């Protein structure tokens, strides 16, 4: 069971950007990828399948103070990508988003603007939820 969250590897940047653009458009949001679950395993899977294979991208996506963990399936089609959101039942077992720590810097990137707006901020952590 993978539990590490890391930066998006450069080799996967085009796929991740396409997936984030697609999901943002589908949900009417402006997400950015703040990390990827077990990026080394995703790169190894891409190398095994080749650039044309269908790949699952387990991403941590943020918009403002909202962060989600989503599995997106992506495959190259012509000069673009075909992207789809995997239903939660297709997610790897034992990997709920609430049990993953956000990548380094996600909290501080949110916290600094909040402290500029308010005299104090209360952070509450409950059973690993972030």
Residue 3 has pLDDT above 80, yes or no: no
**pLDDT tens per residue across span 7-28:** 888 989 999 999 999 999 999 9
The CA distance from 71 to 107, in Å, is 22
Tokens coding 102: 């956000």
**pLDDT tens per residue across span 60-106:** 888 876 778 889 999 888 888 989 988 765 445 444 444 445 555 55
The CA distance from 44 to 47, in Å, is 5
The CA distance from 96 to 93, in Å, is 8
What's the pLDDT at 26? 92
């Amino acid at each position: 069971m993978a539990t590490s969250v890391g930066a998006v590897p450069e080799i996967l940047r085009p796929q991740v950007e396409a997936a984030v653009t697609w999901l943002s458009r589908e949900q009417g949001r402006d997400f950015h990828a703040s990390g990827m679950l077990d990026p080394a395993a995703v790169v190894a899977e891409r190398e095994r399948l080749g650039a044309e294979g269908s790949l699952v991208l387990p991403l941590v996506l943020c918009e403002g103070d909202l962060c989600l963990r989503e599995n997106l399936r992506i495959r190259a089609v012509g000069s673009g990508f075909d992207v789809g959101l995997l239903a939660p039942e297709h997610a790897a077992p034992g990997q709920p988003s609430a049990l993953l720590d956000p990548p380094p810097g996600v909290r501080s990137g949110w916290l600094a603007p909040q402290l500029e707006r308010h005299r104090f901020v209360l952070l509450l952590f409950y059973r690993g939820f972030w």
